[in-house]
């Protein structure tokens, strides 16, 4: 399937196209267990920009995933690395060895010196900015691009909505491209953020039900049945024990996570574990629960991480068709903005 003509969208997102080296300024969100070789290559082949979700992979597993993805596409794709990963430096080495052109650093502020090492190797480095102050700091540190992700997104989220972040950051940061993410499900939103100054958008939930996605049929059916209000955030049990909220479809795992928090925090209060170990135990819950849902199809006891845009996912179709629909709707919206219909003054 060819990409529909979109001259207006291309004109607005030229910086993003130059940054990513793709035909449509849509970057796929890195979704653990979902953003792997099949979906990543399909999105890149369709003109978007696929990103491998490294997650908790070892360097050897990441190496195998990169090689398998490269065998399926000759188009550019990137790798998302979690900055808290204990083998982060080794994972970066794997990316550099395999000539990955774009490395996305997520989950916190990048370690000192790491972005410079990536850039000195001739690669692009992208980081997440949760607010304007950190965005400015990251831009000054030499990032090639920033991602601003609102709380409408799936998985781990921050406290501020996408629309507010966009209004806060896009007018103020112009020296580096800014990619907007969180709750974007239709081309109309892509057009709106591009008109506000976004160089590109990041979309994850929209691609979960792509034909090429390896997500279990049960997982995909849960997405297709869901509405926006079904994608809820996890509850923080103890205000003194910070837990980054996670947005997912409500199911039995939602309550299981609350019980897990209570159990782990009680162990911490009794001095049986450190705060770091307790935090890791809580995070490990999500890693295991997500696999149970995505790979095994246990949609009751697994984690159904989804953004609020899940309400727009209504069928399983190829990644190329998803991108074509995004482009068509965005271009139509921009044409309507630039050439509004005449006003009937006789009415």
9 vs 328: CA distance, rounded Å: 10
pLDDT-derived band at 346 (thresholds 50, 70, 90) equals low
Q: Among residues 161, 196, 207, 159, which one has the least CA distance to residue 182?
A: 161
- For 237-250, how does the pLDDT look when each residue is reduced to its tens digit (9 = 90+)? 877 677 788 999 99
Please list, residue by residue across 3-37, b when 16 or more beta carbons sit within 10 angstroms of its beta carbon and e when fewer do: bbebebbbebbebbbebbebbbbbbbbbbbbbbbb
Residue 97: CB atoms within 10 Å: 12
Give the CATH architecture of domain 7-214+313-338. Answer: Alpha-Beta Barrel (3.20)
pLDDT (0 to 100) of residue 260: 87
Domain ranges of the chain: 7-214+313-338, 227-305
H or E stretch covering 218: helix 217-225
Residue 140: CB atoms within 10 Å: 10
Look-up of token digits 């039900």 = 209
Look-up of token digits 């609102």 = 150
Tokens coding 159:
């406290």
Taking phi first (over 0 means left), then psi (-120 to 50 degrees means alpha), and beta for anything else, what does residue 107 get? left
Q: Name the pTM for this structure.
A: 0.94
Tokens coding 122:
């001739």
**DSSP result, 124-170:** EEEEE-SSHHHHHHHHHTT-SEEEEE-TTSSEE--SS-HHHHHHHHT
Q: Among residues 336, 202, 104, 127, which one has the least CA distance to residue 193?
A: 202
Look-up of token digits 């299981």 = 256
Tokens coding 138:
């990251």
Over residues 143-150, the mean pLDDT reads: 98
Over residues 38-61, the mean pLDDT reads: 97
- For 66-82, how does the pLDDT look when each residue is reduced to its tens digit (9 = 90+)? 999 999 999 999 999 99
306 vs 67: CA distance, rounded Å: 28
Q: Do 289 and 31 meet the contact criterion of CB atoms below 8 Å apart?
A: no
Alpha carbon of 224 to those of 61, 101, 125, 271: distances in Å?
A: 31, 34, 34, 44
What percent of the chain is modeled with pLDDT above 90?
A: 83
Residue 231: CB atoms within 10 Å: 25
> In the predicted model, is pLDDT for residue 218 greater than 70?
yes
Average pLDDT over the chain reads 94
Over residues 189-216, the mean pLDDT reads: 98
pLDDT (0 to 100) of residue 279: 75
Look-up of token digits 């900055």 = 83
H or E stretch covering 290: helix 275-294
Q: Do 48 and 22 meet the contact criterion of CB atoms below 8 Å apart?
A: yes
State the burial class of residue 326 (Cβ atoms within 10 Å of its Cβ: 0-12, 13-18, 19+). Answer: buried
Q: Strand (E) positions, 182-308? A: 200-203, 231-233, 246-249, 304-305
């Amino acid at each position: 399937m060819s990409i529909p003509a979109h001259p207006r969208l291309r004109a607005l997102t030229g910086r993003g196209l130059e940054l990513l080296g793709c035909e449509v300024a849509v970057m796929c969100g890195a979704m653990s267990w979902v953003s792997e070789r099949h979906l990543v290559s399909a999105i890149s082949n369709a003109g978007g920009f696929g990103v491998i979700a490294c997650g908790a992979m070892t360097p050897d597993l990441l190496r195998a995933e990169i090689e398998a993805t490269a065998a399926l596409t000759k188009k550019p794709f990137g790798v998302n690395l979690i900055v808290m990963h204990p083998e982060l430096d080794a994972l970066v080495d794997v990316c550099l060895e395999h000539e990955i052109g774009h490395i996305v650093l997520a989950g916190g502020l990048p370690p000192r010196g790491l972005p410079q090492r990536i850039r000195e190797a001739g690669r692009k480095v992208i980081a997440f900015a949760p607010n304007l102050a950190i965005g400015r700091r990251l831009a000054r540190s030499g990032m090639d691009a920033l991602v601003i992700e609102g709380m409408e997104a799936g998985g781990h989220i921050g406290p501020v909505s996408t629309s507010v972040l966009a209004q806060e950051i896009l007018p103020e940061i112009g020296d580096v491209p800014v990619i907007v993410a969180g709750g974007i499900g239709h081309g109309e939103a892509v057009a709106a953020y591009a008109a506000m100054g976004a160089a590109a958008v990041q979309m994850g939930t929209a691609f979960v039900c792509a034909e090429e996605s390896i997500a279990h049929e049960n997982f995909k059916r849960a997405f297709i049945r869901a509405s926006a209000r079904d994608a809820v955030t996890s509850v923080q049990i103890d205000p003194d024990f910070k837990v980054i909220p996670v947005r997912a479809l409500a199911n039995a795992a939602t309550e299981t996570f609350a019980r897990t928090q209570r159990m782990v925090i009680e162990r911490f209060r009794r001095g049986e574990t450190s705060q770091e170990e307790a935090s890791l135990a809580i995070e490990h819950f999500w890693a295991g629960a997500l696999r149970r849902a995505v790979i095994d199809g246990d949609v009751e006891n697994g984690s159904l991480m989804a953004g609020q845009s899940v309400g727009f996912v209504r069928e399983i179709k190829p990644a190329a068709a998803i991108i074509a629909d995004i482009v068509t709707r965005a271009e139509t919206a921009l044409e309507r903005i630039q050439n509004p219909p005449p006003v009937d003054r006789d009415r």
